[in-house]
A and B are shown apart, each in its own frame.
Chain A
Amino acid sequence: MAAVKLEACQPDPDAPDRGFLDVVVEFPPMCSASTRPGRPNDDAHFVARRIEDALLDSAAIDKRKLTIKEGLWAWKICLDVYCLDHDGSMLDAGLMAALAALRDAKVPHVIVDDRGKITYGGRKTDTESSNNTAVEGKIEVAAAPVAVTTALYRKHLIVDPDAEEEQLADATVTVTMDGATVVGVHKPGGTAEASETDLMHCVAACRLNLEARAKAIDAAFA
């Protein structure tokens, strides 16, 4: 389950025309037999960074579109992804949830006065609030990257492994694609090496599943 909260804050002085995208992934103790309270999950940070990369590298989110008033105020997208039930391929599901949450998010209208003070509210035809903010109170999501994970086990490639398969796998490869473009390929360690052919198979697997997954998100908004 993913949720988006928007916070208005000061942009980085080195990047006054950009907002922020902060992705946090949580594995609460209830989601699997090995997660316990108080012990942070090793994968959480990795999955969060991959989701962030996928969103930025595919230009799904353009931080420049998050400015409210250059140098003074910008939006920070706080994107929290919670794993409710861990059954493998967390990155695939997490990215889908993140995209859906971003599409669903509503940007509040704000007004910045001459002294730089920000107030929430105001009409959308207000010229100050329409300066570089998202169109019509929505975040502009310019792409729809989809991640597909494949597990390598001995000589076999298993697409979309569940928790047990992931645990037994010698290595996993996640391919992220947006339409026909490959946006990212990640192979976090593992005991097996992935040959060029293996990687091409993984990319093919991603291409095959791309449409079905994109349709699933669209269906939710229908």
Chain B
Amino acid sequence: MTIPREDGRSAEQMRPIFVKTGVISQAAGSAYVELDKTKVMCGVYGPRQGGPGIDKVEFDRGRLDVDVKLATFATSGPRGKVAQGDAEREFSSIVHRALSGAVMTETFPKTTVDVFATVLEANGSELCATIAAASAALCEAGVAMRDLVSACTGGGADGPNALLLDPARGEEAAAEAGVTLAYMCRLGEASQVVATGTWDGESLDDAVQLAASGCARVDAALREALRSSVPA
């Protein structure tokens, strides 16, 4: 049963995805991702000597540092603050965990790979767009990964059969519960699952399955963009 959504999509339909790599000249790898109006840009630097804030360097593996910023104009409403708030820190840490499952840090011991992203417009699923952009940027940078990481959210608004894939901002705000899945599609492994709100076992399962189908679409979009960027 499909319920019409604000933008005319069906419940299991994702918004159009746009991926472009090679967008930041000085970065080792970079990507720009759009999930309809949500826009994220990500640059990857390294492996390189870590910043001055690192107290201990590991000799058997490298560090993966993630920093995500929300532009002051990313959300509607008054101008945001430039300094990193708690929301940005948490965002960065979720993206870090999602990528850690894939990045093979043993291939760059002692050094650091920096993943810097900026959310230019937040219109729902910024987290997913950021993880996708980071995956593509890391891949372009040549950082060894077990697989590309894709992410997608399944949201539960109230009402029966009300699981929505890839909620837009209005839908996210109205949802009572949500599951964001960071998934490595080729491996068939989840690197992270973040669930908010209350779920019963079965509906959580459904939500994760729905999110996984969305991840497959993101993965396909990432691979297409990356493949077309490799010189023949």
Contact = CB atoms under 8 A, between A and B. Distances in A.
Chain B associates with chain A: yes
Interface of A: 1, 3, 5, 7, 24, 26, 28-33, 35-38, 78, 80, 82, 84-87, 163
A28 B67 CA distance: 10
Size bin of chain B's contact surface: 20 to 34
Contacts of B73: 3, 5, 80
Contacts of A24: 72, 82
Contacts of B120: 1, 82
Contacts of B43: 29-31
Contacts of B79: 5, 7, 78, 80
A31 B24 contact: yes
Contacts of B24: 30-31, 84-85
Given A30-B117, A84-B24, A85-B24, 11 more contacts: A3-B73, A24-B82, A26-B72, A26-B82, A29-B43, A31-B24, A31-B26, A37-B69, A80-B72, A84-B41, A85-B25
A163 B27 CA distance: 13
B67 A29 contact: yes
Nearest to B65: A37
A82 B71 contact: yes
Interface of B: 23-27, 30, 41-43, 45, 51, 53, 67, 69, 71-73, 78-79, 82, 84, 114, 116-118, 120
Given A24-B72, A29-B114, A163 B84 contact: no
B34 to A, nearest CB: 13
B118 A30 contact: yes
B51, B71, B79: residue with the most chain A Cβ atoms closer than 10 Å: B79
Q: Which 3 A-B pairs have the closest CB atoms?
A: A3-B73, A30-B43, A30-B116
25 contacts: A3-B73, A5-B72, A5-B73, A5-B79, A7-B79, A24-B72, A26-B72, A28-B116, A28-B118, A29-B69, A30-B41, A30-B43, A30-B116, A31-B43, A35-B116, A37-B67, A37-B116, A38-B53, A80-B71, A80-B79, A82-B71, A84-B24, A84-B118, A85-B24, A85-B26
Nearest to B32: A84
A35 B42 CA distance: 14
A28 B114 CA distance: 13
Contacts of A36: 51, 114
Contacts of A28: 69, 71, 116, 118
A29 B116 contact: yes
A36 B43 CA distance: 12
Contacts of B114: 29, 36
Contacts of A78: 72, 79
A87 B26 contact: yes
Contact of A37 (B30, B41, B78, B84): B84
B118 A82 contact: yes
A28 to B, nearest CB: 5
Nearest to A35: B116
B78 A5 contact: yes
A163 B78 contact: no
Nearest to A37: B67
Contact of A7 (B27, B30, B67, B78): B78
Contacts of A1: 71, 120
